[in-house]
Amino acid sequence: MKLTAPMPLKLVALVLGTTAFYMYLGQIVPQKEVHPPPPVLISAEMTTEELIQVGLELANGRGICMDCHNDVRAPGFDGIGSRAGARIEGMSDIEYLAQSLYEPDAFLVPGFAQGMQKMNAPPISFSDDEMKAVIAWLQSQGGTATVTLDTDLGY
Ligand code: HEC
């Protein structure tokens, strides 16, 4: 003899089954696609310490600084933070570092040939805030970083 459940039970099972099925579908079908905003590197309230970190990332990444700054093609950055203020008579470390990035050919480090591009121009195209981050990081290499986003670089 075949055992069959009474009709109402079958109906309950069907309703429960259908509900469960659609709940399951709801879980596996992707919801509205969410595009995360591009990472915000620099925000207005960043401290000098935070700028140094961003500057380091920019120097190692988009700025490709280390390709040249290896003491062969270009001077290494060891101690640049303390050297920068003494490179050109009358120029502060920030002024000198800003000039090095915006107008690399304005002064050539003795013993090195011209060869650095303007970092505010393509393809690197650092924004002024990115320049400040890079300068804060350069200052921190053997010196004291003082740059904030309020610093006027003069460019
Ligand atoms: C294509 C090679 C190249 C790249 C890339 C490059 N530089 Fe330079 N840089 C040079 C050369 C060559 C000099 C030395 C000649 C001169 O003073 O312009 C120099 C000089 C400098 C100086 C002066 C150093 C000193 O001891 O006084 C600073 C500061 C500097 N670069 C920063 C940077 C930073 C920061 C980056 C990345 C954002 C960078 N450079 C990318 C080639 C490069």
Residues 104, 115: Cα–Cα separation, whole Å: 8
Residue nearest to atom 17 of ligand 1 (CA): 108
Q: For residue 104, which atom of ligand 1 is closest to its CA?
A: 18
What would the pLDDT profile of 89-134 be if each residue is shown by its tens digit? 999 999 999 999 999 999 999 999 999 999 999 999 999 999 999 9
The answer to whether the beta carbons of residues 117 and 110 sit under 8 Å apart is no
Ligand 1 binding residues, C-beta < 6 A: 59, 63-65, 67-69, 73-75, 80, 83, 87, 97, 100-101, 104, 107-109, 112, 114-116, 119, 134, 138
Distances 144 to 131, 135, 147 between C-alpha atoms, Å = 17, 11, 9
Could you tell which of 65, 94, 96 is best to mutate to test the pocket of ligand 1, judged by most ligand atoms within 8 Å of the CB? 65
> For residue 36, what are its two tokens?
């995360």
Q: Roughly how many angstroms between the first and final C-alpha of the chain, as a whole number?
A: 94
Centre of ligand 1 from the C-alpha of residue 35, in Å = 37
pLDDT in tens, 44-78: 999 999 999 999 999 999 999 999 999 999 999 99
